[in-house]
Amino acid sequence: MLGLAFAISASLTVNPLTLSVLGALSMLFVLAFRDQSPWSRSVVFYIRLAGIVIAIRLLFRIIFNLESDPANPLLVLPEVNLGLGDLVTMHLFGSISAESLQAALTDGLRLAAIILAIGMANSLANPMKLLKTTPGALYEIATAISIAINLAPQLIASLNRVRRARGLRGQSKGIKALPGLVIPVLEDTIDQSMTLAASMSARGFGRKGTQSKARLTLTRFTGLAGLVLIAVGAFLLILSPTNQVLDLSITVAGLLSTVIYIKMSALGSLRTRYLVQKFRTGDYAIYLIAALLLALAFSGVLNF
C-alpha cells in the first residue's frame, strides 16, 4: 500500500532530487522492515532493474532524438533521417541538448523511483496477499495477474539460462536467432504454467456453486441492465447535457446495478476463505503516511 503511494507520488513528481529521495526512502523502508520471506530477497532484482531502466531511457533519448534544433547542444551526433512519408520523419541521433538529457534522466529517475517503490511493496508486502483482498467476482482475473507477477522473474531467469545454453550450439545470426531464444523460454514457461493449472484443477479450482439457473440469469441481467444504464447515461450526457440531473441519476442507477452485479457474481462461487487478512495497528500508521504523501504529491509540493 505504501509502495503504491510512493509509486503514484513518484509518477506525479518531476523533480530529480525529490525522486532520488523517494527512491532512497523506499530502500530504507525495505532495510528496516524486511523479514525472511522470499519476497524480501527480490529487492536486489528491483535495484538492478531500476539501474537498467535509467540507462535504457538515456540511450533511447539519444537514439530516438525528438528535438530538431536545440538551443544549446551538449552532444552533437550525426543525424540520420528516416523518411516515413511526407508528414512524418523520424530522426535518429542528431544534436542533443542538456535539457533534453536532463528530461530523460528525470524520466528515468522517476521510473526508477517507481520501480524501487514497487520493489519495496514487493519486498515488504506479499503480492499474494493482495489477491485475498480483491472482490470475489474478480478472483479469476486476480489469479491470472498473480500468475503473471510470479512468472515474470522466472521468465528472466530462464531467458538467461537459455541464452547461455544457446552459446553451445551454432546459431543463426541477428534476428533469425530470436526464435532460438524465445521459443525454448516460452515452451518452458508454458509447461510450468500448465503444471500450475493442473495443480489448481486437481484441487478443485473451477467447481461451480449450486446456484440455480434462474439466479444466474438474473445476475446476468443485472449486469446487462447496469451496462445499458451506463451507456444511456453516457449518451445522454453527451447529447443533451442541459438536463444533467436526469443524466447523472441514470448513470448512478447504472453504477448501482453494476455494484450489485459484482456482488451477485461473487455469490455464484462456492469458494470459502480460511484466512482473512486482519488489520494491525502498524497498518493504520502506514496508511496515514501513504495518504499524507499522496496529498503532498497531488498538491505539487514535491516538485519544488
Partner 1 sequence: MITLKDLSFSYLKPNGEPVTETPQLHRVNLHIAKGEFVLVCGPTGSGKSTLLKALNGLAPSFTGGQLTGAIYIDGEDLTGKEPHDFAHLVGYVNQQPEGFFVTDTVIDEIVYGSEQLGMPVKDIATRIKPIVSVLKIEHLLERPLSSLSGGEQQRVAIASALVAGQKVLLLDEPTSALDLAGAVEVLKVLKNLVKDFGITILLAEHRISRVIAEVDSVLVVHGDGSVTKGEPTKQFNDDRFAPPIIQLGVKLGWNPLAISAEEAAELWTTKNHSFEPKEVSPAGEPIVSAKNLSVNYGSLTAVAPTDLDFFGNQITAIMGENGSGKTSLCWAIQGLGNRSSGSVLLNGSDTAELAKATRLDQVAMIPQRAADLLFLHSLGEELHESDVFAEVAEGTTAALFQKLAGRIDPSIHPRDLSAGQQLAAVLSIQLAKQAKVLILDEPTRGLDYSAKRALAKALQQLKSPDRAILLATHDIEFIAEVSDRVIRLESGKVVSDASPLTELAWPSPFASQIAQITRTPELISIGQVIK
Partner 2 sequence: MNSLISKLSIAIAGVASLLMFSWPLFITSNISTEATTAQTVFILLMPLTLVIVLIEFATGDISSKHLALLGVLIALNAVIRLLGAGTAGIETAFFLVILGAYVFGSGFGFILGAGSIFVSALLTGGIGPWLPFQMMGAALIGLGAGLIPHATKKWLVKLNLIVYAVIASFTYGALMTLWNWPYLAGTGTQISYVAGAPIIDNLTRFLKYEIITGGLVWDTGRAITTSLLILLTGSALIATLSRAATRAGVGRKL
Residue of the chain from 21, 155, 260, 296 that contacts partner 2 (CB under 8 A): 155
Binding to partner 2 by residue 90, rule CB under 8 A?
Answer: yes
Q: Which is nearer to partner 2, 75 or 234 (CB)?
A: 234
Q: Is 41 in a helix, a strand, or coil?
A: helix
**Is residue 204 within the footprint of partner 1 (CB under 8 A)?**
yes
**Torsions phi, psi for 59 (to 5 deg):** -60, -45
Cα 42 from Cα 156, distance rounded (Å) = 13
Q: Tell me: does residue 106 bind partner 2 (CB under 8 A).
A: no
Dihedral angle sign, alpha carbons of residues 182, 142, 278, 269 = negative
Tell which positions 22-61 bind partner 1, by CB under 8 A: 36-38
CA–CA distances in Å: residue 278 to residues 80, 134, 137, 222: 59, 14, 21, 32
Stretch that binds partner 1, among 53-61, 81-89, 202-210, 241-249 (CB under 8 A): 202-210
201 lines the binding site for partner 1 (CB under 8 A): yes
Contact criterion met (CB below 8 Å) for 136 and 33: no
The three cell numbers of residue 33 are 522492515
- Part of the chain binding partner 1 (CB under 8 A), chosen from 73-81, 97-105, 175-183, 242-250: 175-183
Q: Please tell me whether residue 260 binds partner 2 under the rule CB under 8 A.
A: no
Q: Is 182 in the site for partner 2 (CB under 8 A)?
A: yes
CB 65 within 8 A of CB 93: yes
Residues of this chain that interact with partner 1 (CB under 8 A) are 36-38, 126, 128, 161-162, 164-172, 179-181, 183-184, 187, 192, 194-207, 209, 269-275
